[in-house]
Homo-oligomer: A and B are copies of this chain.
């Protein structure tokens, strides 16, 4: 049976980065840039003031102090968004607001608080003064933001492959880009199988169970940036399964749930084997051993044949979600152009013992809490693969290596973090 690493390697080598699309920047949150972004402008575009104050020649402030102010004539007032009209000459100053362009001749800005403006305005009942007293000596360049100090014209500011986060969206806006090329999101067709499965929101006939897997998987697809497509439930016959696959041949990935274990009516593997290729069946992981991965031949958009990657996830609700986290999520991330495909892990002290011993890597559902700077992990109850509430109480999956028969309370484990909404 394949190890987790072997299986993941096979999955990743059988999915490819998707094509590009051009979209408005806000619609790209979480996607990956498909172009190197160069700036067509300097940011800021002009030298400008970092403070509300007076633009001066710094030499004019030499020796200025509270006791012996240096008096300068005021040229004009420049607001952010306006251009200065008058050159600052020796003995003069221009009143300037934050963000306003620095006038010609000025080499520094002194803030209001270091002038006597307040006194003068009080004396003149609020009028802007015609002369200003400087109360402090300043240095050349003080309080000036240089043109291009944030972004220089023609520089590469965001590399292809960068994940678009709020800060990247801000950077793109700051250089005036409203559209950007990104790798598109994968469309993931999700098909439940089994005569026993019925859709939610109807009375439950005897012997049936509700389809929960399609919904938890769809939510995982959404959460990691894909586009889930719920395609319903196929009865346990090959033609029903085939028809559903045909109807969704435009999807980028097919996920089926159930139908991959040993029973007579576990048909998914039969269909995939006939209509494509099973790349592997069964992984040394607990829960989720019966995972199947392969490719199915379907008709592509151009009428030609394409091979659609297929994940046959185990039917048990927990196995299904864990299969997805370990194998499907990295595959979707690769398709989306992400470079880091791993889930963040932390080291935690176990507060329960976890027994295992059948040679598979165990992913135990745990609730991680932080005390001081350390993390502690506790099992979230019954680890049966049907008990989905144990997943709902968890925020991580503790990884018990296949070589460990048992991990004792108090030992350290690595935990894959699924969620940071606890106080961590």
A residues adjacent to B (C-beta < 8 A): 25-26, 29, 41, 43-46, 50, 52, 79-83, 97-101, 112, 145, 149-151, 157-158, 162-163, 165-179, 194-197, 200-202, 204, 206-220, 222-223, 228, 236, 261-265, 315, 317, 321, 338, 340, 342, 344-345, 347, 373, 382, 384, 386-389, 391-392, 394, 417-424
Contacts and interface: CB of A to CB of B under 8 A. Distances in A.
B194 A80 contact: yes
Contact of A206 (B83, B150, B176, B214): B83
B82 A387 contact: no
Contacts of A394: 167
A98 B261 contact: yes
B101 A173 contact: no
A150 B387 contact: yes
Contact of A388 (B174, B209, B388): B174
Nearest to A333: B421
A236 B99 CA distance: 13
B100 A219 contact: no
A112 B209 contact: no
A337 to B, nearest CB: 12
Contacts of A50: 386
A57 to B, nearest CB: 22
17 contacts: A26-B228, A45-B204, A79-B265, A81-B207, A82-B195, A98-B315, A100-B196, A101-B207, A157-B392, A158-B392, A173-B211, A173-B215, A173-B216, A174-B209, A177-B200, A178-B201, A340-B422
Contacts of A79: 195-196, 236, 265
Contact of A392 (B82, B171, B220, B265): B171
A46 B207 contact: yes
Nearest to A155: B389
A30 to B, nearest CB: 8
A276 B157 CA distance: 41
Contacts of A178: 200-201
Contacts of A171: 212, 388-389, 391-392
Contacts of A101: 207
Copies, count: 2
A317 B393 CA distance: 38
A388 B168 CA distance: 9
Given A207-B82, A424-B344, A170 B215 contact: yes
Contacts of A213: 170
Secondary structure at the A interface, as helix, strand, loop or mixed, is loop
A145 B391 contact: no
B80 A388 contact: no
Nearest to A290: B98
A216 B170 contact: yes
A132 to B, nearest CB: 14
B173 A209 contact: no
Most chain B beta carbons < 10 A, residue from A167, A168, A219 = A167
B387 A149 contact: yes
Given A25-B215, A81-B207, A174-B210, A262 B222 contact: no
A168 B176 CA distance: 41
A421 B216 contact: no
A44 B169 contact: no
Contacts of A220: 166
Given A219-B169, A386-B44, A422-B340, A212 B174 contact: yes
A149 B421 contact: no
B98 A222 contact: no
A287 to B, nearest CB: 12
Most chain B beta carbons < 10 A, residue from A196, A338, A391 = A196
A370 to B, nearest CB: 8
Contacts of A384: 145, 149-150
A141 to B, nearest CB: 13
A209 B315 CA distance: 55
4 smallest A-B Cβ distances: which pairs?
A170-B216, A81-B196, A81-B195, A178-B201
